[in-house]
């Protein structure tokens, strides 16, 4: 079975990674970091797209290295990948294009106005995914 875990370095994504390592230790696990150009445009302000991309790639490398370290600590093999795009769409596209069997995704568990304003990548992935999705919230 092929498992996809979208990660961004947040506590929810770290909890999803840990859950996948515990539940699927012998399966093919891929950790995916999505570099979102829309977030880059607002976070980095004016500047060249090369500046944004370099910073996003550096962040991706750091987060993915953390996933590799966590996998080594858990005695699990993990493949790491990064891509550019809107997170929910990129995750679903990756699952479709790489014959993923299951997605394990972290969620902040926002509700009310913060969910409306910030959206929910996990919710969108659940709605659009062609495969089963497990949503993990970190312990508070």
| pLDDT on residue 118 | 40
How many domains does the chain divide into? 1
CATH number (domain holding residue 107): 3.40.50.620
DSSP states of 10-55 as a string? SHHHHHHHHHHHHH-TTSEEEEEEEE-HHHHHHHH-SS-HHHHHHH
Domain range for residue 45?
Answer: 2-136
How do residues 99-113 score in pLDDT, each as one tens digit?
999 999 998 765 554
- Give the sheet arrangement for strand 2-6, strand by strand: 79-84, 28-35, 2-6, 102-106, 133-136
Q: Give SS3 for 4.
A: strand
- The DSSP letter of residue 135 is E
pLDDT beneath 70: ranges in the chain: 39-50, 109-119, 140
What pTM, to 2 d.p., does this model score? 0.87
Tokens 């979102």, located at residue: 36
| pLDDT on residue 39 | 67
């Amino acid at each position: 079975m092929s498992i996809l875990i979208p990660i961004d370095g947040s506590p929810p994504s770290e909890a999803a990674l840990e859950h996948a390592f515990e539940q699927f230790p012998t399966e093919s696990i891929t950790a995916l970091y999505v570099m979102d150009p829309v977030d880059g445009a607002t976070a980095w302000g004016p500047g060249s797209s090369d500046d944004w991309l370099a910073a996003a790639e550096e962040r991706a490398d750091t987060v993915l290295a953390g996933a590799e370290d966590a996998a080594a600590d858990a005695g699990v093999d993990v493949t790491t990948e990064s891509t550019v795009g809107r997170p929910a769409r990129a995750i679903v596209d990756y699952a479709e294009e790489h014959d993923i069997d299951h997605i394990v995704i972290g969620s902040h568990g926002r509700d009310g106005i913060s969910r409306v304003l910030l959206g929910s990548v996990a919710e969108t992935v659940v709605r659009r995914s062609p495969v089963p999705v497990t949503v993990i919230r970190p312990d508070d």
